[in-house]
Structure 1
């Protein structure tokens, strides 16, 4: 059974986000710093429990805690509690994706959560929130048509390529060996190309990707030579560098079609047309995806309402966890004081104190020690709480202790 660390009652569920929509200028640099960098950043402000989500279009740090003043998270969007939960639920539902309704994001959230869980980096509230996010993401896709049709970036890119240039009988070069590159290869393989070649920096990964796609492989060192052999060149890497320049494209000849779904761009922007050469990059695809979004307005509205319906339930569940945790802490504290007083009682008896006096002293001391922190908290609550809310609370408390002498509530409130 998973054990969870207790959460301080004043801690806030927080998300720090850099994403393609809100912080496009900072996103690539933040992603390139890597998972370990952001782990250390969170630890540096005292965060012990967290989930880090990294995709090609977002870097998000989810945690329970209070965000300290630091320049580490400069330029980010920060959301807390209900707003942070809403954000995660919408991301999981595909509502915040560049390609609305895409399925990959749900898999990525699940993988990020499971990684944190395996490493004991989540507490019970984080687990509740992420499990609910995965559940609502699945429900949205099952109960609406938001994920119908082509929703992944590779599938949309291949559709655009097919419409503008054609694929059947063409020779295709794929630069990259990761998940996105393999996804491109699978989609393009269905369109009957003459050949597919995978090209990467790492020979072993290139060979592995070629095995998955049942195609040829080459080295990135042979890039210019491979460009000359192929009609279609696709890039899907995490390299921060431009791999293909304008001069490279001109030297490679035409007609050719280039597709770049890398973040950041791996193919230089043409800044004008070159006869026989076309380039499709993420900027071009965003226009296509925006059209898809406008066609799914009804589904987006329904999905958004489903998300909102789960937020209140989740907030209520988190309150229950907080209260249960507080009650458990009260019992642990009481047992500790009971043990201390029992030891003191034994010492008094060993010194010859008569048993009635020792019992009376133990009972008085125990009641004072057990009730002292709660008395302080109640007095503080009286100072800051709404009198009507406090009156209801005290009435419930009076009922719970079965009508024992408690004092007049109005006198306690001084109203």
Structure 2
């Protein structure tokens, strides 16, 4: 199983989580059979619990254990599956966490830090996250103001082949960028009072920047306008948009960038942050309705993983047993060879002694093991199964 040390947005804000971040190189230099997952909303250390048990050693690299919640066993695996599926994200169902988990897995694998068991668990978590998004609608519909603005524009007007004007280059504008990047837009224009900021943003989007004095010209060119400035007063009104033609205006600024008289223009459709909140809330409600379906997928995948891990454990036990018997066989064979070299006994007698000694040593060790077990029923079960096997082989001979 695994052990996870976690700190996330449920307990800490972004700046507090930033202080809990761990130096990746230092982490992997000190620990094997582990994966480090770090995002803006979480810091999680995932360990193979069988391979690594001394959590206190984390303090050697400056990690304050009091800041982290520790979960182990099946609860830890379930948590990891929920993380991969987006159920533990601040925005339920978001896709980014799945890519972040994949990247963390690849880094740990590249550094040779994965046990076979831990790798199986992580890959199963990634598969579970993929199933959740393919088989349910947990990630559909924008639930942030930025993504909701793009969704609303797409719903009302369509985005394919459209010209988009983004006014502003601050935090809200950056939220819009994440959603716009996935769309098939013809052209993006970025306008901002500080031209250098507009240039940086336009470069990131593969668009073009304009100075603020060219705004009215850009408004006539744009099909969709998303306004997200930090201006203290409106920058768009009926007069400024009277020659804009058919246009969708989405105002996500606070305070608003638009005036209500814009709604009087027959070809201009205005949506404000209040409209977007309704869209975001509606989408979040739809996502929450999908949570039980995702939890069913997680249950299915947990059962499959348990069977896989049990099989791995059994195969490991068989390998260990095989190695143990092989070591005894080699020792007894060496004794038999020495006796044959000295020619003290006939070959038949040497082989007979070799086989008896091999069996006695194996049986003696097995009895010793079972004498030390609290559960004596296991020995009786084993004896019963050997008896059945013997009877079966006797039938096969006849």
Normalised by the shorter chain, which TM-score bucket? 0.5 to 0.7
Q: Which has the larger radius of gyration?
A: 2
1:186 alignment counterpart: 181
1:67 alignment counterpart: 53
Tell me if the contact between 1:198 and 1:210 (Cα under 8 Å) persists in the aligned partners.
no
Offset of 1:391 from its aligned partner? 4.5
2:295 alignment counterpart: 304
Give secondary structure in 1 for the equivalent of 2:181: helix
Query: Map of 1:262-273 to 2, 5 A cutoff?
Result: none
- CA 1:286 to 1:399, structure 2 compared with 1: closer, same or farther past 3 Å? farther
Q: What are the superposed Cα offsets for residues 226-281 of structure 1, whole Å, 9 maximum, x if unpaired?
A: xxxxx857xxxxxxxxxxxxxxx9xxx74499xxxxxxxxxxxxxxxx9889xxxx
Tell me if the contact between 1:22 and 1:77 (Cα under 8 Å) persists in the aligned partners.
no
Query: Structure 2 length normalisation: TM-score?
Result: 0.65
Tell me if the contact between 2:188 and 2:206 (Cα under 8 Å) persists in the aligned partners.
no
Q: Which of 104, 109, 125 in structure 1 is aligned with 2:117?
A: 125
Q: Indicate the RMSD between aligned Cα atoms, in angstroms.
A: 4.3
1:344 alignment counterpart: 335
Tell me, in whole angstroms, the C-alpha distance in 1 between the residues paired with 2:389 and 2:309: 23
Tell me, in whole angstroms, the C-alpha distance in 1 between the residues paired with 2:296 and 2:361: 49
Q: What are the superposed Cα offsets for residues 48-91 of structure 1, whole Å, 9 maximum, x if unpaired?
A: 22222222211222221243251433321222221111111111
Offset of 1:19 from its aligned partner? 1.3
Tell me, in whole angstroms, the C-alpha distance in 1 between the residues paired with 2:303 and 2:90: 27
Tell me if the contact between 1:154 and 1:187 (Cα under 8 Å) persists in the aligned partners.
no
2:326 alignment counterpart: 335
Offset of 1:94 from its aligned partner? 0.9
Offset of 1:326 from its aligned partner? 0.8
Query: Structure 1 length normalisation: TM-score?
Result: 0.63
Give secondary structure in 1 for the equivalent of 2:344: coil
1:30 alignment counterpart: 20
Matched, 1:370 2:366: no
- CA 1:329 to 1:401, structure 2 compared with 1: closer, same or farther past 3 Å? farther
- CA 1:87 to 1:109, structure 2 compared with 1: closer, same or farther past 3 Å? same
Q: Which of 179, 191, 208 in structure 2 is aligned with 1:195?
A: 191
Q: What are the superposed Cα offsets for residues 300-353 of structure 1, whole Å, 9 maximum, x if unpaired?
A: 122112212221221121011100111022112222322222222222222332
- CA 1:111 to 1:275, structure 2 compared with 1: closer, same or farther past 3 Å? closer
Tell me, in whole angstroms, the C-alpha distance in 1 between the residues paired with 2:319 and 2:336: 26
Give secondary structure in 1 for the equivalent of 2:67: coil
Offset of 1:15 from its aligned partner? 1.6
Tell me, in whole angstroms, the C-alpha distance in 1 between the residues paired with 2:282 and 2:204: 36
Where does the alignment leave 5 or more consecutive residues of structure 2 unmatched?
Answer: 153-163, 211-226, 236-253, 258-275, 394-398
Tell me, in whole angstroms, the C-alpha distance in 1 between the residues paired with 2:183 and 2:177: 10
1:268 alignment counterpart: none
1:359 alignment counterpart: 351
2:132 alignment counterpart: 140
Offset of 1:107 from its aligned partner? 1.6
- CA 1:93 to 1:121, structure 2 compared with 1: closer, same or farther past 3 Å? same
Following TM superposition, where does structure 1 have runs of at least 4 consecutive aligned residues deviating by more than 6 angstroms? Answer: 157-160, 179-182, 187-191, 274-277, 285-291
